[in-house]
Amino acid sequence: MDIKLIFPGRPIRPLEIRTKNHLIPSETLTALAAVTPAHHSVRIADENVAPLHLDDHPDLVGITVHTFLAPRAYAIADAYRRRCIPVALGGLHVSGLPEEALAHADAVFVGEADTTWPQFLRDFERGGARRIYQPSASTDIASLPRPRRDLLDGRRYLSTASVTATRGSFIGPGHAGIFSENGKDWLSCHYYDGESNGKPTLAILPLQWTADGWPVEAKESR
């Protein structure tokens, strides 16, 4: 299938230049593209950095929805659905108001879609997609493929090197520092523990380095 993933644009303020107002892209759509089965063709359209064309004919449209962009997201969805092109909606706003979003979509995603998006695509191909998809458990981000940043036009952003800082119970990490001890590298930071009602917590995490120089948490206990 030809799948088009869309990040709706926000209105331009006076004296603002469109190509300068969205310096780093969201990882939402690149992460979704990464878990899309390889036999599908995926493209990303970010209306914050380039005009959005609604006269194309993808087999499926996916749109991420933030609350302040919900009217624009719904308008885009409605435009495609009027031409009988199926639309799936997800994101923070949809997770909070799925019934509202269903009025503008063929399927909606509540919560993280790392596992439910591939399931939806399988169901969609068989002609039996549900209206609402919601994961039964949180996803270990260490098990996920890297976001498909190759689908972005890097010339339109200040940088595409965004990093997922928090997921699930590991909330708001900050004041990070890296140190070495006994031949190992470590990351220290504070965070709020979602499994302990947001209790402030100090983390000391073992680090390892990927072949291209990125730090990742080593597979050891915190």
- pLDDT at site 164: 65
HSE-up of residue 24 (Cα within 13 Å, Cβ side): 6
Virtual CA dihedral for 13, 17, 20, 26, nearest 10 degrees? 50
Question: What's the pLDDT tens digit per position in 159-176?
Answer: 787 766 566 667 777 788
Average pLDDT, the chain: 87
Which residues, 6+ apart, have CB-to-CB distance to 163 below 8 Å? none
How would residue 140 be classed by pLDDT, with cut points 50, 70 and 90?
confident
Comparing 121 with 218, the larger pLDDT belongs to 121
**What is residue 222's predicted lDDT score, i.e. its pLDDT?**
45
Give the integer Cα–Cα distance in Å for 160 and 65: 20
Mean pLDDT of 132-161: 86
Asked whether the predicted pLDDT for residue 15 surpasses 80, the reply is no
Would the CA dihedral through 58, 52, 72, 6 be positive or negative?
positive
pTM of the model: 0.75
pLDDT at 81 exceeding the cut of 90 = yes
| Residue 4 or residue 204, greater confidence | 4
